[in-house]
Structure 1
């Protein structure tokens, strides 16, 4: 049981830093490059997009529908040239942080607006690897925010997986061909979990349930760490944390639906 809890705690720390970090959501360039991430802009709070860790500077920014969301930056942006071309080599473009916030809707002449309030933002940056383009879907939201800052970090800063030494690697089955019934697996108590992560109860949303179920399957020798099934389950966890639905997480990660459902079932016990 301690092995299962230790691995679940490790996976949570690796995969759910966005949840444990409070109001800060952290992503890495590969996450942004391969996915059209959704960002919520909470009314009265706003959202910062922080690129300091990447070493890039922001050159230009566009919002598809600027009638509901506006932005400011901590530095200058490149201005449009007289010949209608975009000069991304301008010396004025030196911003590293954007601040987005909701505004009272404005009706712009000859400009259409989205029907649901959602729109997209395009950010053009320049750095040691040349120019990059970031695109996010912006969703106006109300109520208490889950995060108020998005920090983008380079892939080189991504934490490496930690292999718990207490779990012997010689048990190497790579699939869940034989899934024992959940009744045969000892289930942890809330007190035991809190002893591993003091002061942090494990919220069992689908992503965290999948993390915990993966730890159980690993401890029982059903999924080897680093195997194809392990990696697909990790991808599914990441997609769930990005706000994707179960069906999309299964489809895009390639994990078998029966494996996905069994892991979540174990993790919710």
Structure 2
């Protein structure tokens, strides 16, 4: 059933607006603000309420539904939870205003748009382009690859837990709670980001990726964002110095690298499903 759900998610993503209707975080963010304002709840207890409790409720619900009607009642729950657990927004579409400003040669506008729409800042335009390229790979990873990895490995409860941790880390205003959520998310990112890096090696420049991963594969301290941005650039053969317009065109080639990796993942998932 897991592979069927993954295929349905792709269909919904391409041909339906269900994702945008489902991904409403108002209740969760309201509870986060309420717990932070109380000031009486330990950060670990806050995360238990915000993340662990919904995950356990979902796991219990699926345990009850799974034996009913050969699991058909659990199928829509799997689908809805996985769609909710995907990242927010459209990473590729968000680059539109930045692309327009850069093509016009308006570097100041490009810097402003990157800070406004992508949350990226840089003093040098070339450095900004590298940051934008890395951000595209990171957003694709955390929005899609990490979620489907945990879904296929441990089910919808793990995918939901990943997204709730990401929302907690991104929206918390309490330093201790934000730090704990980021630590747990870093732990959940450790394995899937390295699997995606291996995928980049198989569909991109194998030698360059292997050279980077040889030093970083067991490095616990490097963040998932830094690792996947660096590996993505070397997998796509992006040089340190290149023409501005060529660097902008690299956004499309990076997207193609991500699409090839997604095809590879789905092929592996399909093969795994057939063999088991």
Q: Quick check: TM above 0.5?
A: no
Tell which has more relative contact order, 1 or 2 (C-alpha 8 A, sep 6+): 1
> Normalization by structure 2: what TM-score?
0.24
Point out the structure with max Rg over C-alpha: 1
Q: Which has the higher strand share?
A: 1
